Amino acid sequence: MVAADARGDRLRRAVQGYLDHLTIERGRSTNTVAAYRRDLDRYVAYLESLDLALEDVTTTVVEDYVTVVRTGSDGRSALAAGSAARSLAAVRGWHTFCVAEGLAPANPTAGVRPPSQGKRLPKAISTYDVERLLAAAGAGDTVASVRNRALLELLYSTGARISEAVTLDVDDLDLTPGLESVRLFGKGSKERVVPVGSFAVEAIQAYLVRARPVLMAAGRGTPAVFLNTRGARLSRQSAWQVLRTSAETAGLDGAEHISPHTLRHSFATHLLSGGADVRVVQELLGHASVTTTQLYTMVTADSLREVYVQSHPRALA
């Protein structure tokens, strides 16, 4: 019993040494250190339940611990995959520290992989909510609102990333009737040409004629399509705020969670729901792999199942 108590004391002293290291030498925040303490307290309790000393811990022990926190079989709350991965990161950091300090001969966490968090399905808003969002962006018919409507119309019409939209130059637009398109530069400067719908074309033309010259007069001249009130290129942060404010003005549910990527997700989901081929959507989005685009087909399939269950007379008993 004394030996077991001594092992437990040694484990806890090693944990405290690591937390002091995080606080003093690495300058981690109080909240971060507190989270590490909670994770390591649970881990040390697990090691004590197995009557293990620090040098007795093997890769299998750590792998079993990940299973324990995922299932809650130690009598504590079961953790979601993301939280379990965070807990494993704390355990890995502690073992690394123990090896560096000569407290243990090897790091048993080196080959342990965090639990899979699965693929997060993209979030999209309905076409009705898109219309409300766009109407809110253009409310007031001011220079700023004309610009804001054009920006959000373009994002939804093309599925452009926010970074692609704010780096657009006027020469990247082709508004020739019948050929309306925009040249976008995606990740790795990969170029693609995407058609622009009639509503977006109308909004962009109104902006170029009525609003952009006014904004440009305040600056020194720039080829950027979207300008701020100083006549300079609109920043990603400002474009993000345009969307956030428009969502709040429109009274959309979860407005605080709507981001520029929401319109990109909505663009893809609505195309697939309308019958577009996944390979075409892949090209429009600029995805290197169709696997990424196929996430949206999962969303569409879920929607189809929901409609089926609600509509078919023999879907439910």
Q: What is the pLDDT of residues 187-232, one digit of tens each?
A: 777 889 999 999 999 999 999 999 999 999 998 889 999 999 999 9
List 233, 264, 265, 270, catalytic entry? 264
Per-residue confidence (pLDDT) for residue 276, from 0 to 100: 83
Q: Rounded to an integer, what distance in angstroms lies between the CA atom of residue 83 and that of residue 88? A: 9
List, for residues 52-84, the tens digit of each pLDDT value. 999 999 999 999 999 999 888 888 988 888 888
Predicted TM-score of the model (pTM): 0.59
Distant-in-sequence, close-in-space partners of 268: CB < 8 Å, separation ≥ 6:
122, 124, 159, 281, 284, 285, 293, 296
Cα dihedral 308→309→312→316 (10° resolution): 150
Quickly count: other Cβ atoms within 10 Å of residue 47's Cβ.
19
Active site annotation includes 264: yes
Q: Report how far apart, in Å, the C-alpha atoms of 241 and of each of 52, 98, 116, 249, 262 are.
A: 53, 46, 33, 12, 13
Active site annotation includes 36: no
Active site annotation includes 86: no
Per-residue confidence (pLDDT) for residue 1, from 0 to 100: 40
Active site annotation includes 21: no
Domains of the chain as residue ranges with CATH = 2-100 (no CATH), 127-260 (1.10.443.10)
Per-residue confidence (pLDDT) for residue 294, from 0 to 100: 67
List 161, 233, 265, 270, catalytic entry? 161
- Mean pLDDT computed over every residue of the chain: 87
Per-residue confidence (pLDDT) for residue 311, from 0 to 100: 60
Structure tokens at 25: 């030498």
DSSP class of residue 191 equals: E
List, for residues 95-138, the tens digit of each pLDDT value. 999 999 999 999 999 889 888 765 555 578 889 999 999 999 99
Q: Is the pLDDT of residue 89 over 80?
A: yes
Per-residue confidence (pLDDT) for residue 63, from 0 to 100: 93
Which range in 22-36, 261-275, 297-311 is most confidently predicted, on average pLDDT? 22-36
List 38, 76, 119, 187, catalytic entry? 187
Q: Rounded to an integer, what distance in angstroms lies between the CA atom of residue 103 and that of residue 99? A: 6
Per-residue confidence (pLDDT) for residue 300, from 0 to 100: 59
Cβ(10)–Cβ(17) below 8 Å: no
Cβ(237)–Cβ(245) below 8 Å: no
List, for residues 248-260, the tens digit of each pLDDT value. 999 998 888 888 8
Per-residue confidence (pLDDT) for residue 3, from 0 to 100: 62
Active site annotation includes 270: no
% the chain with pLDDT above 90: 58
When pLDDT is cut at 50, 70 and 90, the band that residue 283 belongs to is confident
Per-residue confidence (pLDDT) for residue 2, from 0 to 100: 42
Q: Is the pLDDT of residue 156 over 70?
A: yes
% the chain with pLDDT above 70: 87
When pLDDT is cut at 50, 70 and 90, the band that residue 308 belongs to is low
**Higher model confidence: residue 79 or residue 92?**
92
